[in-house]
Structure 1
């Protein structure tokens, strides 16, 4: 089977990693839609587009050459410049979460449920995995001496919203004594949160380490492995940099019961989910602290959750798992094409 992955950037690391694993099953080529005329897609068996703009190229290939088109929409609504028909007539739509599937079908009621498939995005477990070393932590200011620090809670993520950080900082004073809170966050919103509360918390005696630069993957890996708990506060529901990275390092997660996190974190099994803050941030801060403290106070339970989360990540969220499920989608749409062609050519029996 020949598969063309259409992207706007051939150097996209995620697409490259997915293509590498898909090549175990099929002949896969990554094409930049802006430079690949649709005539170049005539010989492929399946076209899979990953953005709205490449979705147009996939739609044209379907119309001109009869190539089955699989579309992974980057959002719920096509932009004004994009024809909605590319979404509605794609042979299969692949989304990354059940939440997105439900919302997509709610907004586009013309979609038949069988045409929308959930395939969780692949996660790089080669970059994030348990790393018991601590050599990279001293440069971050993280203390590892058990005589000085009883517990460590980590919050790691790119472009963490200010609201999410403030929620965590409100919870910090409620954590068990001897708890070191390590926040790896940078950007304008992180700086605003840092200026508002971080100094005040330190004045109150909170053990707060704020890493205001992007740490190396090795440092993140060691931090998440060393931490007793990883926390994903409200407002930050992207699974990869938060929950999945921690789970891949064997660390339990305390997160908000919202967005994709409800599909990544199995409540009570790989971590804990707390109700979203709504209009009561102080209640949320208490719930968040209570969830973290319950795991800090029960290291055996936390260790079991960490091991279970690691196993779940390796089973369900790797690029290997995503490639296997995507190939099953490609086989299905190709088989449907063959059936449709056979129905056109076979004589009608009376």
Structure 2
């Protein structure tokens, strides 16, 4: 099957690939490994890259000229989506794909418009929603929420990251029958319990990836740290040049750490290359997924794949990924004390950590490997109406 993936803002070839770019690359590689022809269309942000690149993972990346060839914020990219759409319309008018898969809200918009003339079915994955009232909502231009609703209603099928997102989309008028739930994938050969570990200086290490913009979002972690003298905290993702208020956020988090007396045991490591994450995660005793922080469940499945228990808020994709008391601990949203108690309990109970580590790895291997996720996505393509060679690549479902 000829699959066109659209990832306007997250280029798999970009410097310091973000979680969305890593997801797109992982899925594209898995689908290519199943024998499909996959091309990822991303906005050109580097003038040095060729127009089309065949990666060593078996898929192509097409650099689409839309605005200046440099990194832009979402609001700036929005002004150039017309050029992006025109490029897709021209190429797909000549060589139409069998299915188009948009990743992110802007990608969904250009996918719907660009695929109209070609007549290819469009499948959409939002990865995060700006719908008001959702705890996992992330920011963006004011138009974002309305565009997400329009895209969700227009596409042939939606792949939601979790039941929370599926419920939110259905509440906005997206037909529930055209929504499939497929979780985040992970390379279970790269993210393993065995392997190099980042150096650490304390008995216990806690990792928080991409903390929420609100500094108080990790107060529970800081409180737990204040109750466990031999623990240290690593915060990844900050400072981050792509977040306009990144330096201010770091200052606020440092102030919170000072308030709880743990500033000397709190370290900001900035953006960590994806290939370096396994070693960092292996060095941790627990990974905390803070509310409104990491928009997808990627960090949770990566931690579990490395045999590291997760403490997460029981919202969004985390509520589907983490089995409370089995692979980690779930806490109510906006409950700082529960977060602190859960993290301290995990750090102080060696047996619980070991049990969660084993169960977490088993769960990820069975449900979140890229091969498994790719098979589920292929079924979503089939439901969307893509028929070219789909069933030959999909192994029989033992549950049927």
User: When the two structures are superposed, what TM-score results if normalisation uses the length of structure 1?
Assistant: 0.76
More displaced stretch, 53-62 vs 248-257: 53-62
Residue matched to 1:129: 192
Partners of 1:92 and 1:196 lie apart in 2 by 43
How far off is 1:303 after superposition? Answer: 0.6
Task: Answer yes or no: is the 8 Å Cα contact 1:180–1:207 preserved in 2.
Answer: no
CA distance in 1, matches of 2:10, 2:252: 35
Find out whether 1:7 has 2:7 as its counterpart: yes
For 2:226, what is the secondary structure of its paired residue?
helix
1:316-335 equivalent positions in 2, closer than 5 A = 316-334=367-385
**Compared with structure 1, are the counterparts of its residues 10 and 194 closer, same or farther at alpha carbon in structure 2 (3 Å cutoff)?**
closer
SS at match of 1:58: helix
For 1:51 and 1:130, locate their aligned partners in 2 and report how far apart those are by CA, in whole Å. Answer: 31
In structure 2, the residue matched to 1:20 is 29
Structure 1 CA distance for aligned equivalents of residues 165 and 148 of structure 2: 20
Provide the alpha-carbon RMSD of the alignment: 3.2
Shift of 1:119: 1.5
Pick the aligned partner of 1:143 from 198, 201, 211.
Answer: 201
Q: Is the 8 A contact 2:88 2:115 kept in 1?
A: no
Q: Trace 1:241-256 onto structure 2 (pairs within 5 A).
A: 242-256=299-313
Q: Which has the larger radius of gyration?
A: 1
Decide whether the 8 Å contact of 2:211 with 2:218 is kept in 1: no
Determine helix, strand or coil for the equivalent of 1:36: helix
1:314 aligns with 2:335: no
Equivalent residue of 2:358, what SS? helix
Deviation at 1:6, TM superposition (A): 2.4
Q: In the alignment, what sits opposite 2:255?
A: 195
Q: Identify the residue that residue 281 of structure 1 maps to in structure 2.
A: none
**Alpha carbons of 1:207 and 1:312: their partners in 2 closer, same or farther (altered >3 Å)?**
farther
Cα distance, 1:66–1:210 mapped onto 2, change above 3 Å: closer
Residue equivalent to 1:156: 208
2-structure distance, mates of 1:218, 1:4: 25
Matched with 2:55 is none
Which position in structure 1 is the counterpart of 2:347?
A: 296
Instruction: Give the unaligned 5+ runs of structure 2.
Output: 13-20, 43-63, 65-83, 132-142, 240-246, 389-400
Distance in 2 between residues matched to 1:85 and 1:170, nearest whole Å = 42
Cα pair distance change 1:106/1:258, threshold 3 Å: same
Deviations along 1:219-251, one digit per CA (max 9) or x if unpaired, are 653443233333334443545464233212101
Please report the TM-score for the alignment, with normalisation by the length of structure 2.
0.67
Summarize the alignment of residues 27-176 of structure 1 with structure 2, pairs less than 5 Å apart. Answer: 27-32=37-42, 34=84, 35-38=87-90, 40-41=92-93, 43-60=96-113, 63-73=116-126, 75=129, 79=144, 82=147, 85-108=150-173, 111-131=174-194, 133-134=196-197, 136-137=198-199, 142-143=200-201, 149=203, 152-161=204-213, 162-175=215-228
Secondary structure of 1:154 counterpart:
strand
Residue 291 of structure 1 deviates from its aligned partner by: 1.9
The total of aligned residue pairs comes to 313
> 2 CA distance for matches of 1:80 and 1:263?
24
8 A Cα contact 1:76 1:103, kept in partner: no
CA contact (8 A) 1:94 1:117 kept: yes
State the alpha-carbon separation in 2 of the partners of residues 246 and 60 from structure 1. Answer: 37
SS of residue matched to 2:329: strand
Describe the shift of the 1:170–1:324 C-alpha distance in structure 2 as closer, same or farther (beyond 3 A): same
Alpha-carbon distance in structure 2 between the residues aligned to 1:315 and 1:93: 23
